[in-house]
Structure 1
Amino acid sequence: MAIKTAGLRPGAVVKVRSRRYLVENVEPPTDARWEQTLAELSCLEDDAQGEHLSVLWEREVDAQVLPQPDWGHLARKGFDAPHIFSAYLHALRWNLVTSTNPRLFQSPHRAGIQIMSYQLEPLKKALQMPRVNLFIADDVGLGKTIEAGLILREMIMRQKVKRILIACPASLVTQWQSEMEARFGLSFVIFDRDYLFNCRRERGYAINPWTTHSQFIVSHSLLRDEQYASPLRDWLKQHPSGSMLVLDEAHHAAPATSSVYAVDSQFTRGMRELTPLFEHRLFLSATPHNGHSNSFSALLAMLDPQRFIRGEQIKDPRLLDQVMVRRLKDELRELVPDLGLPKRDVVQHDISGLPEDAPDLALMRLLTQYRALRDKRLEGSRRSQQTAANLVITTLQKRLFSSIEAFNSTLRVHRKSMEKLAVEAESEVTAALLHA
């Protein structure tokens, strides 16, 4: 067995159980009759860096000491020309400077896209923060995904981020994965039910699937499930530093009502438990404010609990400017005319000369009559019921303005729900008469 332990010493790189480890300590056997060398190892793999492992070296089936790099061949072919060495030296200096200077960026030069000047503003603000607590609230179509990718790539290159979680609606999961891979060279694993099943099948049911990779994309719906959220919290508690959360469509995590301490949704409660466990947080939403100041402050408290408190109105706009980047298309169109952003002009076209029995006019008159009947029936009801009824009529009006087909499909759903309510009401009246 002496051959098997040859080269086993602190600092050596070994391969045990199909993974690479760094030897931290070696304790030879105390009794010569038993060949049991205790090796203290630290994992070198990307998905489990630093994880400790203690093994009895001779008892491991595939244990081997990996050969050390041979530096003896250096300079055998001579030295590089001065201009080549100078270019190499300047490249090293540039990388070192950009790792510490927040005014110099690397990620824009390593992205496979044409970047607009305004898209560098979130990156600049993020690098000026000790910890990234940033809310990108740019208008739709201005490239929030690109701005987030620039920040992620820069933070990885500066070695400030080691673990990344992107949470987005289920319909955007594959889009996020493809854009991060194609535009920034970042490989993300989609965490879903299939991935969880494969991890448990390959590594055992006790494995925490969040420890198998360092960059994940997960849908909002799965984060509501404790089966997925609980192991994620355990993973983050073990590795709090160097973690970053990217929450797309962040307004979904805000409470929907205007009361000070409203009953949160399941997703709101889940995100309130998760966000403090991340060192860096990046929120994205084109509609950050839902019209209720208390809901907005609750969302900002998840982003930066040091600056904002749930239930407290934001009276100082400078606090909001420190954590939020908000640009509208109209503003950028005036500031940067060369961007080529199309301008949308709403022009009214009056349609005249339609006969009185035209289907569109007939449907609108019937819908108006239906609304008047509902308003009269709900005159003495609660305000919440009246608001819900008005919302139904407004939705029907929007569908009618869209197309006859859209109005027809929505009206069918509404009719089924009303018939169901009528049947339930009739059943309650019948039951009341029987018990009377």
Structure 2
Amino acid sequence: MAGKLEAGAFVELRGRPWLVEETVKGGGEFESLRLSCIADDAQGEQLEVIWDAEIGPKILGEDNWQRVGASGPDSADVFAAHLRVIRWNSSTAAERDLFQAPFRAGIRLDTYQLLPLRKALRLPRVNLLIADDVGLGKTVEAGLIARELLLRRRIDFIVVAAPPSMTLQWKDELQAKFGLSFQIVDREHLAEMRRLHGFGVNPWRTGSRFIISHRLLTDEIYISGLRDVLGEFRARALLILDEAHHAAPAGGSRYAISSQFTKAVRNISERFEHRLFLSATPHNGHSNSFSALLEMLDPQRFTRGVEVRPRDLEPVMVRRLKSDLRRLGEAFPERRIEAVPISGLPADAPELDLARRLAAYGELRMARISTLPGQKAALAKLAFVGLQQRLLSSNAAFAKTLKVHRGSLAKLIDGEITARESQAALTFVASPSGEVTAELDLEDSEAEATHGSRRSLRDRGGVSRGGARSHKERA
């Protein structure tokens, strides 16, 4: 049967439609077909099969050409509609202002969300930094770009790197809003792949769309397989980096200091043809750190240590605040910060007693660490900062972080401090930042998940954007 199929024929097997690209003659009596998927959720995926060995294969449209014109000519309206359908379905890279993704997504689209898509299509390589304010729908804007590039067949491999607490939200939103199925690469998925396909399986070769957490980008067990798939450079591959400011090196000193996460992102990002960075706070106040982040995004335009000019940013960066869009007529609520006085609490209230004890503990620690060497003193200061932050978050988060703090004290006493932890601690004391806190594993997964769920509720808006639901935001 395979001999009757030629390149250009359409077939259906394994529940999806495919285009026959080539008939491959093997050494035996069977011939294999090299197929390319044409389904919306897996366009461009390659597959090689033996036709006679497939279950229930079907050849699509075998007699369509013989029926052309059998019912007479169509009316002018029907023919015009047919031409419009052909035009919409044959969008190419040359038609940069013809969008398909917004009409194939289950979202209520806001006009301002089309600007990142327009900018992306005008770039020869989609190296774009979306730095919109919190709540403007950066996830939707990234999904539109990914969907459009898939429809235009400019990409066939996507990796989304997000904070651990956001990976499941990315998977759900891309599936619900854009019909794109992604696989989260984590310990459970790796164990499942090894159970099904053997210990030597590369999970990155089992699909074309993946989500991985920031923490695992520094783990060689997971990243070595991704490097094998990408090679030195993979065309038609897209990297989406959520919370991209975590990859910017700390800039508290004269020179920006790269963390393990920074090095991991730099090593991986250069292997993708297209890169999409998302961050509501891309600039940490240090120009050297910002230029290093932009170099990872587009090394042809930016160089670490070289001043970034506004005219260089314009083609590759989208930055809008809610106040900007409010002036253009968008109905975003205005934030008002109101102090809520708390009076009448007894002096022995648990919250006040806990704060007093933590303050006393801090004074005692400062007296003790004053005699420690620089690296151990930096680690001690860093651990106490984490406790203060968690106490302001919630009592539950403070209790969980306190357990981690006790473990850190045990490591400090036993001298089990790695060079990476020492360097990150010194960097944090010079310039406190969230990515260095994650570098030192001062937050356990449950506390981070709690923080991430709050961000999820804050960022997730209606169907398309994460705007607040009330007319008044309170801090």
Q: TM-score range by the shorter chain?
A: 0.7 to 0.9
Asked if 2 retains the 8 angstrom alpha-carbon contact of 1:246 and 1:282, the reply is yes
- In 2, distance between residues paired with 1:332 and 1:125? 18
Tell whether the 8 Å contact from 2:35 to 2:46 is kept in structure 1 after alignment: yes
Alignment counterpart, residue 336 of structure 1, candidates 308, 325, 328: 328
Q: Residue 9 of structure 2 contacts residue 19 of structure 2 at CA under 8 Å; is this kept in 1?
A: no
* Residues 239 and 16 of structure 1, relative CA distance in 2, 3 Å threshold: farther
Secondary structure of the corresponding residue to residue 242 of structure 1: strand
C-alpha contact 1:258 1:295 (8 A) present in aligned 2: no
Change (3 A) 1:185 1:17: closer
Q: Which residue of 1 aligns with 2:317?
A: 324
Alignment of 1:99-138 (within 5 A): 100-138=94-132
Higher RCO (C-alpha under 8 Å, 6+ residues apart):
2
Provide the rounded CA distance (Å) in 2 between the counterparts of 1:354 and 1:13. Answer: 75
Change (3 A) 1:409 1:305: closer
The Cα of 1:394 is off from its aligned counterpart by 5.1
* 1:262 and 2:252 matched: no
Q: Which amino acid aligns with 1:164?
A: I
Match of 2:267 among 263, 273, 281: 273
The corresponding residue for 2:463 is none
C-alpha distance 246-17 of structure 1, shift in aligned 2 (>3 A): closer
SS at match of 2:161: strand
Q: Structure 1 residues 128, 204: CA separation in 2 closer, same or farther (over 3 Å shift)?
A: same
Taking the aligned partners of 2:356 and 2:191, their CA distance within structure 1 comes to 55
Q: How does 1:36-435 map to 2 (within 5 A)?
A: 36=28, 39=31, 41-44=33-36, 69-70=62-63, 71-96=65-90, 100-203=94-197, 207-237=201-231, 240-256=234-250, 258=252, 260=255, 262=257, 264-265=259-260, 267-310=261-304, 312-333=305-326, 335-339=327-331, 341-350=332-341, 368=359, 370-379=361-370, 397=388
How has the CA–CA distance of structure 1 residues 208 and 374 changed in structure 2, closer, same or farther, with 3 Å as cutoff?
closer
One-letter amino acid of the structure 1 residue matched with residue 173 of structure 2:
E
Structure 1 residue 326: Cα displacement? 2.0
| Offset, 1:64 | 11
CA distance in 2, matches of 1:65, 1:418: 63
TM, length-normalised to structure 2:
0.69
When Rg is computed on C-alpha atoms for both structures, the one with the higher figure is 1
Report the alpha carbon displacement of residue 283 of structure 1 after superposing the two structures with TM.
0.8
SS in 1 for 2:235: coil
- Going from structure 1 to structure 2, the CA distance change for 1:374 and 1:208 (only over 3 Å counts) comes to closer
**Native 8 Å contact 1:15 1:21 kept in 2:** no
Q: 1:384 to 1:120 in 2, by over 3 A?
A: farther
Superposed displacement of residue 304, structure 1: 0.6
Deviations 1:325-374 (A, max 9, x none): 222233333x23442x2222222345567676776666656655554554
Query: Could you report, residue by residue, the CA deviation over 1:21-70 in whole angstroms, capped at 9, with x for unpaired residues?
Result: 6544659x9xxxxxx558575344578856779x9x9xx86799975812
Aligned length: 407
CA 386–345 in structure 1, closer or farther in 2 if over 3 Å, else same: farther
C-alpha contact 1:98 1:105 (8 A) present in aligned 2: no
CA gap of 1:135–1:76, structure 2 versus 1, over 3 A, is same
Kindly provide the amino acid, as one letter, of the partner of residue 90 in structure 1. Answer: R
Is the CA contact (8 Å cut-off) linking 1:297 and 1:309 kept in structure 2? yes
Q: Matches of 2:310 and 2:30 in 1, distance apart?
A: 60
* Secondary structure of the corresponding residue to residue 309 of structure 1: coil
CA distance in 2, matches of 1:248, 1:163: 17
Distance 2:13 2:89 in 1: 35
Deviation by residue 1:408-430 (Cα, 9 ceiling, x = unmatched): 77667657766886798xxxxxx
Q: Which runs of 5+ in 1 are unaligned?
A: 30-35, 425-436
Instruction: Give the aligned partner of residue 430 of structure 1.
Output: none
The question of whether the paired residues in 2 share the 8 Å contact of 1:14 and 1:23 is answered with no
Amino acid at match of 1:101: E
- The one-letter amino acid of 1:345's match is R
CA contact (8 A) 1:9 1:25 kept: no
Match of 1:33 in 2: none
**Residues 270-296 of structure 1: per-residue CA shift (max 9 Å, x gap):** 222211111110011222234443333
Identical-pair percentage: 47
TM-score, normalised relative to structure 1: 0.75
> Residue 70 of structure 2: SS of its match in structure 1?
coil
Counterpart AA for 2:220: E
User: 1:364 and 1:5 mapped to 2: Cα distance?
Assistant: 76
Assess if the C-alpha contact under 8 Å between 2:237 and 2:274 holds in 1. Answer: yes
Structure 1 residues 342 and 73: alpha-carbon distance in aligned structure 2, compared to 1, 3 A threshold: same
